[in-house]
Amino acid sequence: MATGLIKSFPAFPSSRLTLCYISGYRSTCATSLKAHCVQNYAKQHGYGYMAWDHRPDASVQAWFDESYALLTQGEEGEDPPAMILVGASMGTWLALLLAKAQPRRIKGIIGVGGAVNVTEKWLRQDSPSPDDPTLIWPRPSRYAPEGYYMISNAMLIQSRKALWNPNDTVSCPVRLIHGADDPDAPLADAIKLAQDLSGAAADCTLHVIPDGDHRLSRPEDLAVLEKQLDNIISEIPVDKR
């Protein structure tokens, strides 16, 4: 199962809105500045908050299954609060999948440095032998202490079950935030995602930070995230008290 679950209950027990932070690959919600930003925002406004870590070697399909279980556990026969999902990097991919699976509950998505279907790029473009399901290979990463992460082709292949189809859509508004200087998830990918979602009748906008990188964790980046939270919460038709 997913690890590192953090669940904060709202300051106002009657709150009908929970903010959910979904981290990216090898990121931990306890150390993420973006996660802290969302958690503090929820606390200040009296909303619920949830976040958790993914198993690092599991596929995106497994991440989705475990995330879905966390969001729905203990809710049979209940009227659960609405949710806004804030997905960072690959967490944006998961947020889209979860919103598609739970259209009545998920009321909005904010994607920060979204990296959708990135495992397929790693397999096709980076893996030394894409057709070998037993291969484990080092992929360079600026975020790894050793300078690389060991990647399993099996994980990448299993993640194909969760690939986001360009014709897929969600019923909630999607607000994408992306850095123009993102070295890990090119801005062109975010533009295409926004175009695909808009073309599939989704309410999607893209906010580009001209000098932004992939992490988007500077104070000025977090201010944009807070502003997008203000905007999307003002739009959703739920009782937020």
Per-residue pLDDT tens over the stretch 167-200: 999 999 999 999 999 999 999 999 999 999 998 8
Eight-class DSSP state of 159: G
What confidence score (pLDDT) does residue 240 get?
53
- Is the entire prediction scored with pTM above 0.75? yes
Place 3 in a pLDDT band, splitting at 50, 70 and 90: low
**Of 195 and 202, more confident:** 195
Per residue in 51-100, pLDDT (tens digit) is 999 998 899 999 999 999 988 875 555 667 799 999 999 999 999 999 99
pLDDT of residue 58: 94
| In contact, 204 and 198? CB cutoff 8 Å | yes
Pairing of strands 3-8, 48-53: antiparallel
110-153 pLDDT, tens per residue?
999 999 999 999 999 999 999 999 999 999 999 899 999 999 99
DSSP 115: -
Q: Taking Cα atoms as reference points, which of 163, 26, 6 lies closest to residue 70? A: 6
Residues 120, 163: contact at Cβ < 8 Å? yes
Q: pLDDT class for 241, splitting at 50, 70, 90?
A: low
Provide the pLDDT for residue 113: 98
**What is the structure's pLDDT at 201?**
78
DSSP 17-36: EEEEEE--TT--TTT-HHHH
Phi, psi of 84, rounded to the nearest 5 degrees: -115, 130
pLDDT at 1: 53
- Tell me which amino acid residue 232 is: I
Of 116, 100, 114, 108, whose CA–CA distance to 19 is shortest? 108
Instruction: Give the CA count within 13 Å in the CB-facing half-sphere of 48.
Output: 19
> Given a cut of 50, is residue 11 above it in pLDDT?
no
* Element containing residue 234 per DSSP (H, E): helix 219-235
